[in-house]
Structure 1
């Protein structure tokens, strides 16, 4: 699927449907759907849609990194133990941390727009 992903995304952005893309590329509609879903969740390719909507991927990645660091520093004997540790870690994340993480995509864009120079 990896080798088809760029073509799937380009065709999707041009308005082609899942079945049409699958037929044109000779792959299953399920494969096309998975690639499109992953693209829409992560914004892993450049697209007009991504420019219009701020991707939530950096936020999700940062939060999961925090949870992993806090809750998974030691092995858990059961799934319930892991769930309790994740809930505890979630409750320990401050609102300020969420604000900082949520601002990251905007700050990154400002840095890119400033060509790595100073920005406000």
Structure 2
């Protein structure tokens, strides 16, 4: 009986995996996304700026943009990137954002606090 249940569950799992189509990166859309980041940098105060991903993987870093465009940009990025895996792990690059001369800018955060000692 246990064997039948296990085989049945494996069969259901295999059907689910076979029917799941992994959407990988669309290089054209990723390039368009990255170019569009410069359009959304205008700001008046530091509070206007937030970080968004520069590319599909955390290792691509972050870019500072106006917060009212962050959701739109994230949706565009997810559409361009799909669900393909990143090849490097644990290479997060966080930034501090600020509005400098009416342009959202980002500088790398001091991550030394998080380093292994």
Return the TM-score normalized by structure 1.
0.23
**Which structure has the higher relative contact order (CA within 8 Å, separation 6+)?**
2
Between Structure 1 and Structure 2, the one with more strand by share is 2
Instruction: Name the larger-Rg structure.
Output: 2
Between Structure 1 and Structure 2, the one with more helix by share is 1
Return the TM-score normalized by structure 2.
0.23
